[in-house]
Amino acid sequence: TERSCEALSSVLSSQSSSLRDLDLSNNDLRDSGVKLLSDGLKSPHCELETLRLSDCLVTEEGCASLASALRSNPSHLIELDLRNNNLQLQEFGVKLLCAGVVDPNWRLDALRVDKGEELKLTPGLRNYACKITLDPKSAHRNLELSDNNKRVETVDEQQPYPDHRERFDTFCQLLCRNGLTGRRYWEVEWRGKVDIAVSYIMIRRKGYSRTSRFGGNNQSWCLSCSDDCYSVWHNNTETITPLPPSSISHRVAVYLDCPAGTLSFYRVSSNKLILLHTFSTTFTGPLYPGFRVWTGSVRL
């Protein structure tokens, strides 16, 4: 069997490899065979998308070999079946694979382990999905909220909101109620021209100044969206994201990783995430999702 794994490894690493689906279930491969397979999986020429290793006497050592291979070549394997190998989720090798499922650089989104029980892991970053709600206290008076504070749009007639120290009085902006730490993910549907932002709570609310505009200061970061282009802003510096208009999507995902110090914006197309830009910094406190609606609307 080891000889077979060695031959398969050679096929997987071949420059002309076209193998996409490999089912080796119910074979006595053991960790030694899986290690040989992993040598093929790590090859940049390997484009395998599905690997089934159910009932193959794989232990956490074999899982660690697979995880190491996928770290080297994370872009292709989508499904990994390790059922009926008496693996436990708390084992080190399995944990390495579970970490890969939520790693944005890995394509893996279906990992099955533990005696036939399917481990349902939400694909990739959506593991960190959170619920956010718009904060009416911060909303500019030319913004109208609806759908239980899940939707906001620009309106010509000023709304009869009461005076509040947290209300933006110049730019058509608002924040969400939720202060976020750790790792968090959310999606936004937009129309017209909008800025999708993340900000510290202490951002200035009054006056016509870059200190009160999302992306115009060191307190906030934003992705500006229109039907023509995307651009990102921080500390009053703009970076254009070069994309043809046909690539514009009206759904955007945001992934905030406070421990790693990264903030990433993605366009969502056919339920896939395509990275637009990542900011790298050191976050010093909770961050609040926010929006500037120039024209049109935003829905959470």
CATH code: domain of residue 257: 2.60.120.920
Q: How far apart are CA 82 and CA 112, in angstroms?
A: 6
Residues 77 and 143 in one domain: no
Residues 116 and 144 in one domain: no
284 part of a folded domain: yes
Residues 151 and 21 in one domain: no
What is the pLDDT averaged over residues 71-88?
Answer: 86
129 part of a folded domain: no
Structural domain total, the chain: 2
Answer whether residue 291 shows pLDDT above 50: yes
What is the pLDDT averaged over residues 174-202?
Answer: 95
- Model-level pTM? 0.61
Burial 236-247 (b: 16+ CB within 10 A, else e): eeeeebeeeeee
CATH code: domain of residue 56: 3.80.10.10
- Which backbone phi and psi does 40 adopt, to 5 degrees? -75, -40
Give the type of residue at 108.
L
The label of the residue with tokens 């030319």 reads 142
The label of the residue with tokens 């999507």 reads 249
Mean pLDDT of the chain: 88
| Cα→Cα distances 4→8, 27, 130, 284, Å | 6, 11, 46, 53
Answer whether residue 121 shows pLDDT above 70: no
The label of the residue with tokens 């481990």 reads 119
Residues 176 and 78 in one domain: no
Residues 166 and 292 in one domain: yes
Of residues 24 and 89, more confidence is placed in 24
Angle subtended by helix axes 60-72 and 30-41, to nearest 10: 0
Q: State the pLDDT confidence band at 120, using cuts at 50, 70 and 90.
A: very low
177 part of a folded domain: yes
Residues 204 and 103 in one domain: no
Residues 109 and 152 in one domain: no
Q: State the pLDDT confidence band at 116, using cuts at 50, 70 and 90.
A: very low
128 part of a folded domain: no
Residues 150 and 272 in one domain: yes
Give the type of residue at 64.
A
Residues 16 and 72 in one domain: yes
**Final residue in a domain of this structure, among 64, 90, 121:** 121
Q: How far apart are CA 262 and CA 111, in angstroms?
A: 26
DSSP state letters, 167-211 = S-SSSSEEEBS--B-SEEEEEEEEEEEEEEEEE-TT---SSSSGG
Residues 6 or more apart whose CB falls under 8 angstroms from that of 99 comprise 67
**Final residue in a domain of this structure, among 121, 145, 177:** 121
What is the pLDDT averaged over residues 97-101?
Answer: 78
pLDDT score for 17: 83
221 lies in which domain range? 136-299
109 part of a folded domain: yes
Query: For residue range 147-163, what is the model confidence (pLDDT) as tens digits?
Result: 999 999 999 999 999 99
Residues 88 and 180 in one domain: no
Residues 146 and 259 in one domain: yes
Q: With the C-alpha atoms ordered 92, 93, 99, 104, is the resulting torsion angle positive or negative?
A: positive
Residues 6 or more apart whose CB falls under 8 angstroms from that of 42 comprise 68, 69, 70, 72, 73
**Final residue in a domain of this structure, among 60, 88, 121:** 121
In three state form, how does the secondary structure of 100-158 look?
HHCCCCCCCCEEECCCCCCCCCCCHHHHHECCCCECHHHCCCCEEEECCCCEEEECCCC
pLDDT score for 245: 66
Residues 106 and 181 in one domain: no
Q: Parallel, antiparallel, or unpaired: how do β-strands 237-241 and 251-257 relate?
A: unpaired
185 part of a folded domain: yes
131 part of a folded domain: no
Closest-CA residue to 94 (of 106, 107, 105, 83)? 83
What is the pLDDT averaged over residues 84-109?
Answer: 77
What is the pLDDT averaged over residues 19-44?
Answer: 92
State percent of the chain over pLDDT 70. Answer: 94
236 part of a folded domain: yes
